[in-house]
Amino acid sequence: MTRVQISKIELDVGIAYTISMIDRYLIRYFLAVVDSGNFSRAAQRSNVSQPTLSVGIAKLEELIGAALFHRNNRRVNLTEAGTKFLPYARRIEREFNCAAAAVKGIEPSPVLKLGILNTVSSKMVQHAVRQMIEADPLQRIELVEGSEREILSSISRGRIDIALTIVKRGGNRFREEVLFEEGYVAALPKTHPQAGFLSLSADDLAESVMIVRRQCEALSETSRYFLERGVRPFFAYRSSHDDRALAMVAAGLGVTVTPRSHTWPGVWQAKLTGFDVTRKLGLCYVEENSERARSGSLQVLRDTISKAGVGEINCSKP
C-alpha cells in the first residue's frame, strides 16, 4: 500500500499535529469529498462504496486529530481544520504523481499557454483549471487573461496556444469550437424586493440603482434594452472587474446584467423578459495548434466547461 510521510503539519488551530504514515488512499478520499461536495458522489468518483469512503474519512480525521467536514443531508463543508489541511493534501497528491512520473522517466509536458477571456466566470475557470491539474500534474499551464480583442491578438501573435473565449462572431481567421451558449440575466441582491422572481421586466427594475460591468460584451445591447423602455437608472458603480461588481450586488449597492454562469453568494438571478442576447463560449486557436488542441488537458477543459454550461454551475438561489 502506498503511504505518504508527513511531519508536523501546522493547521493553524493552535496545535502542531504530527502525522506519520498516512495512507495515500485517505488523501484521495478527502480530495474526492472536497471536489464532489458530498460523500455519495465522492464514493462514485473513488470507485468505492459510500460506507467504505466514510470509514476512510473517519480514519483520516482520527489521524489528524480533528473533524475535517461539517456534515448535513445535502452537502458537506470543510471545517476550519479541513480548510487548513486542504492545500497540504493537494500538494501531497500532486507531488506523489510527479514522483511517480519521474520514476517512470516521464518528462514534464511543454507549457500550455491558455488564454482566458476576462468575462468568463471565475468559478468556471477555477473549476476547469483544477480539473486539468488533477488530470495531468506534469502539464505546466500559463494563463493569459484579456479582453476579446486582446485574446485574439495574442492568438495571432503566437503569445497563446489556445483560448477560452467568445466564438462564432462571424470571423474565419481561427479554428473555433463551441462548448456552450448562455444568455444574460439580471443579478440582484437577495435583499432586493424583486429577488425570488424567475423573470423580470425593465419596468420591474425602473427604480433600482444599477451597476455597470464595463467589459461586458453585451453592454451596448443592455443599454439599448433599458433606454428603449424608458428606464434611465442611477448608476452607483462602474467596474472593469466582474467579481467586484457581483460582490457589490451582493452587498446591496445595486443590480446588474451578467452572463448566467456568473453566480455569486448573496445574488439572485432572474431572466430579463425581451432580452434574448446570448453568447457562445468555446475554444479558439490557429490551425497550427490543432494537434495541441487534442491534448488530454484540453479535453478535460472541454468536458469541464461543457458540463458547467449545461447546469453544473447553477444559479445562486435564496
pLDDT > 80? residue 6: no
Which sequence spans correspond to the domains of the chain?
A: 3-103, 108-318
Distance CA 164, CA 146 (A): 11
pTM (predicted TM-score): 0.65
pLDDT tens for each residue of 152-168: 988 887 889 999 999 98
108-318: CATH, from 3.20.20.70, 3.30.2350.10, 3.40.190.290, 3.40.50.920: 3.40.190.290
Indicate the SS3 state at residue 200.
strand
* Exposed e or buried b per residue across 175-207, where buried means at least 16 C-beta atoms within 10 angstroms of its C-beta: bbbebbebebbbbbbbebebbeeeebbbebbee
Contact 4, 27 (CB under 8 A): yes
Band the pLDDT of 187: cuts 50, 70, 90.
very high
Instruction: For residue 312, give the DSSP letter.
Output: I
pLDDT tens for each residue of 72-100: 766 788 899 988 888 888 778 777 777 77
* Chain CA centroid to CA 14, Å: 32
3-103: CATH, from 1.10.10.10, 3.20.20.60, 3.30.70.360, 3.40.50.150: 1.10.10.10
**Distances in whole angstroms, Cα of residue 197 to Cα of each of 212, 277, 318:** 22, 20, 11
